[in-house]
Amino acid sequence: MKQKHYIAGLYFRLSQEDERQGESVSIDNQRAILRKYAEERGFEIHDEYIDDGVSGTTFDRPDVQRLLDDAKAGIINTIIVKDLSRFGRNYIEVGQYVDYVFPAFGIRFIAIQDNVDTENRDSNAMEMMPIMNVFNEWHAANTSKKIRAVLKTNAREGKYHARNYATIADRKSKFERLISIG
């Protein structure tokens, strides 16, 4: 029996919240893990798809859409991600892709660190995948709620969080403040 030739798309995602966690989830770290996995198994790597600084709560991400388009067009037949949360944090959409869309197009989906591989649908990891997806969505919502609470508290205390604005350092705290001239 002839072994199937796997043509892989490697998908990386890093949200702004993930950047706070450091090197363990960086794009370079994800690239090293995915490339090693693919090369050790003899997969052909077609392309890398990178959404940097984009939340996984939406699938309205440029490179995830390019990845899905390439998969549906038959350009790739395997999608590899570091873990399920890199692919997405919306449990309904992730489930729809893994359970319905990918099988319909003959696409193998692998989430390395979650031991998910759709080639073996009877595995414990595949049975646990819906629970992992719910947790991933909860984690995104919970993190967002915590960040909003901190920003709200800082705003009440006269501290601010802004990007691309002129600031002056406040020597009494580690925060910067906007200044009004005039």
- Determine, yes or no, domain membership for 33: yes
Give the Cα separation of 60 and 139 in Å (integer).
19
Give the Cα separation of 51 and 151 in Å (integer).
25
The mean predicted confidence, pLDDT, of the chain is 76
- Determine, yes or no, domain membership for 132: yes
- Determine, yes or no, domain membership for 104: yes
First-to-last CA distance in the chain? 80
**HEC states along 62-75?**
HHHHHHHHHHHCCC
More confident residue, 37 or 162: 37
Domain that holds residue 134: 7-139
Interval 66-79: pLDDT, tens: 999 999 999 999 99
- Determine, yes or no, domain membership for 160: no
- Determine, yes or no, domain membership for 148: no
Number of compact structural domains in the chain: 1
Q: Is the pTM of this model over 0.85?
A: no
For the domain that residue 24 is a member of, what is the CATH number?
3.40.50.1390
Q: Above 50 in pLDDT, residue 138?
A: no
